Chains A and B, each alone.
Chain A
């Protein structure tokens, strides 16, 4: 703390009053961003290993176990391999858009972390309109896929891009409505307030915090949000955008080396983001599930991490269990099942909140 204060004083004395303060703010924010993004990319790398191990166990295999002890260096080896491979830009492609598309896929997935509260008071930007910001950022991720598909100048890539555009617009609506239910019961768009609001109520007073969280009164919304999240991240069983058996790899078919790897980073970063959001919106965020001694001693950050890992593992379990959806069934599920369910539940919650049995005062 003293060191930070000394650095600020040094900048202010060196550059003059307003400019020194601005420079300090910019440098401080950049350092904080690095503090979030670097561990996040580490999580992404080890999520790929966890996925291969976990699906291996489900399918009674061992999974990667050759690089390092228990295969722990596998993500590093994969990363190095992608890094040293040649970047091929197809001759008929639009070069600028082709190169920028993977970055456009990754950037929104990282930018959304600015408003995520990791524990009480630990958040990069504690903004009032947190949920709105998250919805805006996650809705921009589709541009990476669409631009990649178009700039590649390939039929397969283009088909993938078209599928992705239709699918993401469809599921975004259900996802948004599920979050509207959350903000109605929390009376706030701020993520810290949403977490704090879940720690109150009849059960929380008796120390059974986990029964006061949003997942119980909003149970259908948890299901809708999670499944829409799987569809938004283009994960199996909603991975028709890649659809290896029909359009080889969709938008990624022309990419090689690090361009291809960046799309993968974006996909896994999005998975971790959706999981963390599910934990924050419905499973009490950093709060401990039980309000007494051994549980409350665990640092809040660790609870959030445990919940995130739990939801991410659900993603992997889903992938290992179900075959791919047919495209018309994906559209039907989004438009004809999820959106009506969310609208009905929205009206129901609204009516409930007007009755004397309102539990969210």
Chain B
């Protein structure tokens, strides 16, 4: 039993616990927070595999941005648990199919030695100076530049579509133009009136 294995088992236990609590806890905010914990532990496990870029990006994007907005929404909504439970039996077949597929995929990954995985050579240890981030960047922007740019365009379309779907113009909105506000001069607003002082009777 070496130290890496002990650290891995510790993180794996925390992650399993957090993932279980995501689906079993009754409070949606607690579920979201447990999801944050399981993302963070997944990042730690990737770090153990020396995939530092993936690990940090998982924390940066999912923990730092996506889950913050997710929490934002979950906290604002008043979620009624009884209404959520109503559809349980009708969704069960679909959910069970997806769960079965995922179990199958896991079995394929873990049971690699039944599929002649050992005939593939173990990758050589690249050493401490190897930069995961640099290699990933080089591959993405040279060999796979077209698929990568295509994915970027798909994302851009999705962003614009999401904004177009949610934006609605209201006629009664009072909109201010900051450039106009800043460029206002005293002469536009103030009129100095010269009046003779009144006499006391």
- Using a CB–CB cutoff of 8 Å, the interface residues on chain A facing chain B are 18, 22, 97, 127-129, 132-133, 135-136, 139-140, 142-143, 146-147, 150, 158, 161-162, 165-166, 168-169, 172, 189, 329, 332
State the majority secondary structure of interface residues on A.
helix
Per the 8 Å Cβ criterion, residues 147-190 of B in contact with A are: 178
Q: What is the number of residues of chain B that contact chain A, defined by CB distance less than 8 Å?
A: 25
| A258 CB to nearest B CB, Å | 23
State the majority secondary structure of interface residues on B.
helix
Cβ of B75 within 8 Å of any chain A Cβ, yes or no, is: yes
In the bound complex, do residue A132 and residue B53 qualify as a contact, i.e. CB atoms below 8 Å apart?
yes
In the bound complex, do residue A165 and residue B68 qualify as a contact, i.e. CB atoms below 8 Å apart?
yes
Other-chain contact of A169, B33, B53, B68 (Cβ < 8 Å): B68
Cβ of B133 within 8 Å of any chain A Cβ, yes or no, is: yes
Chain B residue contacts of A161, Cβ below 8 A: 75
Q: How far is the CA of A189 from the CA of B57 in the complex (A)?
A: 14
**A-B pairs under 8 A by CB, number:** 70
Known contacts A140-B63, A143-B36, A169-B65, A150 near B75 by CB under 8 Å = yes
0 or 1 for each of B40-65: is its CB under 8 Å from A? (1 = yes): 00000000000011001101100111
In the bound complex, do residue A168 and residue B68 qualify as a contact, i.e. CB atoms below 8 Å apart?
yes
Known contacts A128-B131, A132-B60, A140-B59, A165 near B72 by CB under 8 Å = yes
Q: How far is the CA of A129 from the CA of B133 in the complex (A)?
A: 7
| A323 CB to nearest B CB, Å | 14
| B41 CB to nearest A CB, Å | 14
Cβ of B76 within 8 Å of any chain A Cβ, yes or no, is: yes
Cβ of B16 within 8 Å of any chain A Cβ, yes or no, is: no
In the bound complex, do residue B69 and residue A127 qualify as a contact, i.e. CB atoms below 8 Å apart?
no
A-B CB contact pairs (8 Å), 6 listed? A128-B133, A128-B134, A136-B56, A165-B71, A168-B68, A172-B64
Most buried by A among B2, B60, B134: B60
In the bound complex, do residue A22 and residue B65 qualify as a contact, i.e. CB atoms below 8 Å apart?
no
Q: How far is the CA of A158 from the CA of B76 in the complex (A)?
A: 9
Per the 8 Å Cβ criterion, residues 54-108 of B in contact with A are: 56-57, 59-60, 63-65, 68-69, 71-72, 75-76
Known contacts A139-B64, A146-B68, A150-B75, A332 near B56 by CB under 8 Å = no
In the bound complex, do residue B69 and residue A136 qualify as a contact, i.e. CB atoms below 8 Å apart?
no
